[in-house]
Chain A
């Protein structure tokens, strides 16, 4: 059985409120990926559409997009794992190609979060948790991650300053990313100024500056068989490992609160499949929906030992010039987090890095890149390893 490649990547600019419909939003990411791969719609054998359906007014969007993108009569279907939907889509596309069922598959992630109001969207995010036993208490995503932050700080002495450093890093690169929602500089001092918005409380201990923003966006990844990739692509990037895991939705069913077991397990699977370890990773995109999420990712992916993630950010090891550059495209904290498109955007960043096409944020000669994409509050974990040539 041959290898599986990514031969095209695209994403829309992520914005607060997209001035168009979801099919038009999706067209933007798709068009860029198709032009990148130099394919026509006839070359796509199947499409996998990925989003979190609670934001969609359109029922069953896959069918609508297949028509709008010119992908009829090829098969199309829909997958979701909340915020990691498009990484799950990539894993499915990998399986479809690896099995020999299809040669070329388009993974299309999108979210138009502005279809509903911000508070309504917060309520829906809360319902990404256990609606029977948790949501009646009034839960929100920031509060769940805040509980992990509290536990991490208590156990390991991680500080709010360490979390602020992660946001400062994100903003350093967000300023360079024309596709990002938040492009303003963020200074460390802002977090100690009670008048500053960044320092405003959300869910203790997390502050406004610790949280990413909602966004509208789309992304598209074109996956192809080895044979197809070699015949049409000058710079295929290879899928070396795909790991995925799940856990109890209710926090009462979990044992670890200083990290995400799904990330540990997905990483382990992906490393084993690729025959590599954390030290082999040259560049990574991690799911920094909150600053604490990036801190835990350092540890869950093995870039640092448990409790030592803070040393990485204090020593700037996760900056572009550091030992293990992480989220040098600004991350979710800068780009915004259009749920179903987020994983696709992360994958695109790593593919561009491995092709030496990342521009200002290019890290030096990366061979292997990692994508860590989490759904819900560590409910679904996906880790994907990509390699050049």
Chain B
């Protein structure tokens, strides 16, 4: 018998705590499958963020450290400098990476830090109950933009992949989505490419994954996938933003 849904070895047996239909679970799985396929689980150290994925250390079946809010790239830098032969990755949300941790991610990239970042862009703060994220779209209603995000008050949504792609130290940056099977397959390829970039010692790599938060968007999982496709992709174009040979 062929088991179709075998759990990757790089995931523990612990059931996810994510809300029904949340795409965090899909992305965890993709990262774990890539770790399995590249056979790097036993020499990988992951860094969990503060956000809904704060318990990632319970799920990824490799050595893990939990960082302060936004500081994962700095923590990863410390790990990588001590253990250059290990594979080091961070897994971060948009509040963690693009608000409080902007300095850390920018400078990890400028240093060409040889680490991989998986960046979950769900256009909102999930963990704290649905506040505006730097990536929240104009007009989007959140707990702290009750009248919809207004560019005059709260500025514009930030495109992190494009911004980081301008930095010399970035080696590989791609934006993907997980709203359907086709895109999930593409997302996995990108994650693999990112880890391979690190294995080749080329420098900083990041995959930005457009994701959903049905709970705080106030939608069903299906509605949320649709909303991602019709609203997020036009503002956050998919594709490779930077790739060095």
Tell me if chain B binds chain A: no
Q: Residues of B at under 8 Å CB distance from A?
A: none
Q: Residues of A at under 8 Å CB distance from B?
A: none
